[in-house]
Amino acid sequence: MKKRILLFSLFAVLLSCNDATEIIQKGELNDAALFVSVDNMQNFLNETYDRVSTQTDIQVASLLTDEVAIGNSLTTNDTQRFFIVTTNGPAAALWNTHYNAINYTNRLIAGAKLYTPSASELPRYNSIIAQARALRAFCHFQLMVYFSTDLSSDAALGVMLVDKVPTPNEDIPRATNGDLFKFINEDLAFAEANLIAPTGAGAYKLVTKNFITAFKARMSLYRKKYTEASAFADDLLANSGRVLSTSTVTIPNFPATSSVIPSLAGSTTINVDPGAANPVQRALFQMDQWVAASSPVYRRMWVDAEQGEILFAIDRPNNRNNFSSVYNTNGSYLTGAPLYDMGRSLFDLYATSLGGGAEDFRRWCFVDRSATISATPNTATRTNEVIVIDKYPGKAGSHTSNDLKVFRLSEIYFIKAECLVRANNLAGAANLIRQVRQARSYTGGTVPTPTYANAAAAFADILLERRKELSFEGHRYIDLKRLGADANVSGTDRSSQDAINSSATNPVNITISDYRFTLPIPQSEININPLIQNAGYN
């Protein structure tokens, strides 16, 4: 870590290097030259936001669980086969990405000490530091999610606690979870006390009160501090200003025989299956892939045309980040060279009715209409069934750029529901799950309220709904690890047809007790910083 941090440093860049023997090079942009105003601090904060990413987290959670299958444009992938070693690329990428962002936050926090703001500048000055500290806390937590064996144990080893810019020869050991959570909570407390609430349409892409409260709710849940998690969830449900995004679909009022995609004037509610051989319905769902004003709010949220229920997203403007290539080479359509298909077991869940005449819009929102679905899945091949993942379809002007959704209101419903089950309020939990399902119905109808015989049944239903709603958002890996046993779910649920070159050492599925539900500390890190490796990887 120590040498890598210095490598990523912005200040190591020399604008001129005529004499390599000079310690201070001509044109070097060092801390003293950079941090000379609050405006410069803001510019550096903007760059820091750009360094924060959950892209690799999302990829790892998909490949190591049951969300994806190998697509027809990819031969195989070792991670998808559960082949995880200390030199695993995604594990190292996840480690490097978050520590790179942490380095930027620490550079900003340290550099800010070189500038003394005026009284009028002080609130903005402190708010910039508050945002940096909140991002630093978030990145440490994301690392803990993947590299700590047990987030509920304060004594368990976590990751490196990096609260400064390290020196070149400094070793940084793994801290305990307890020390890391104390550090994270201190950063969040400073952020809460000093943050100036951002305004404008894009405010949810910055650190806000919603970001901090959602972060605390998720962190408390993972730590099994259910009373705290419940209180944070209540705060968001009451005060976030967000509501569950609607999925009710409208269609243009034009003859069913038309083959032309019309304007959306004169719309009526659709009450039929959009998968039927009807050009009106096909036209609707082709239009719905992008930003038509009459498209459901839930769909517009995924094409970054509307905030919807998003509490915090990482901004990824057009041409800034090719996130779609995680799942599809060129775009989320059949001819876009899909690298990974949606796993068949996950797809089958979306194809199941929500009950009460309500059909699941996520079937049409997360799977591209160009996908080919086999009527006989047990005999399907990679060429005659291509379930194109369409959760990241791009946005207006780009087929590949999408914001990374980090906290959404539906997750808060699940957090609250899980806490209610822990408090033996099964009926309250069932009602929250029903509300999420109702919001996902595109046909109207009344989704029935589930009935849970016991806590295990409730946990199983919450885990099921988390799997459907939060797919391809980086949740499935940790959800199975922390909730699987309570829900009587023994492991991943990958269909046998999704496996490529499976064997005893590369199985179709793994159990939740498998050591691979904690990632290895990258060997490249251990080579320069002798950290204790996680069990199973020595």
Structurally, the chain folds into a number of domains equal to 2
Q: Domain of residue 304: give its range.
A: 206-473
Do 344 and 258 lie in a common domain?
yes
Residue of 13 and 38 predicted with greater confidence = 38
Q: How sure is the predictor about 318, in pLDDT bands with cuts at 50, 70 and 90? A: confident
Task: Give the pLDDT confidence of 84-116 residue by residue, as tens digits.
Answer: 889 888 899 999 999 999 999 999 999 999 999
Q: Tokens 């082949």, residue? A: 83
Global model pTM greater than 0.75: yes
The C-alpha atoms of residue 12 and residue 9 are separated, in whole angstroms, by 6
CATH of the domain at 102: 1.25.40.390
Residue of 177 and 361 predicted with greater confidence = 177
The C-alpha atoms of residue 386 and residue 338 are separated, in whole angstroms, by 8
pLDDT of residue 321: 65
Whether 503 maps to a domain, the answer reads: no
- CA-to-CA separations, 136 to 60, 128, 143, 146, 191, in angstroms, rounded: 21, 12, 11, 16, 11
Do 286 and 182 lie in a common domain?
no
Q: How sure is the predictor about 291, in pLDDT bands with cuts at 50, 70 and 90? A: low
Do 75 and 166 lie in a common domain?
yes
Do 255 and 165 lie in a common domain?
no
Q: How sure is the predictor about 16, in pLDDT bands with cuts at 50, 70 and 90? A: very low
Which of residues 473, 493, 523 is at a domain's end?
473
Whether 332 maps to a domain, the answer reads: yes
The C-alpha atoms of residue 129 and residue 108 are separated, in whole angstroms, by 8
Where in 25-154 does DSSP place strands (E)? Answer: 68-70
Which bin fits 478, alpha (ψ -120 to 50), beta or left (φ > 0)? alpha
Do 192 and 216 lie in a common domain?
no
Q: DSSP states of 475-511 as a string?
A: -HHHHHHHHTTTTT--B----GGG-SS--SSS-S--B
Tokens linked to 202: 């894009």
DSSP class of 396? T
Do 226 and 180 lie in a common domain?
no
* φ, ψ of residue 251 in degrees (nearest 5): -125, 150
pLDDT of residue 249: 65
Do 452 and 305 lie in a common domain?
yes
Average pLDDT, the chain: 85
Contact 323, 55 (CB under 8 A): yes
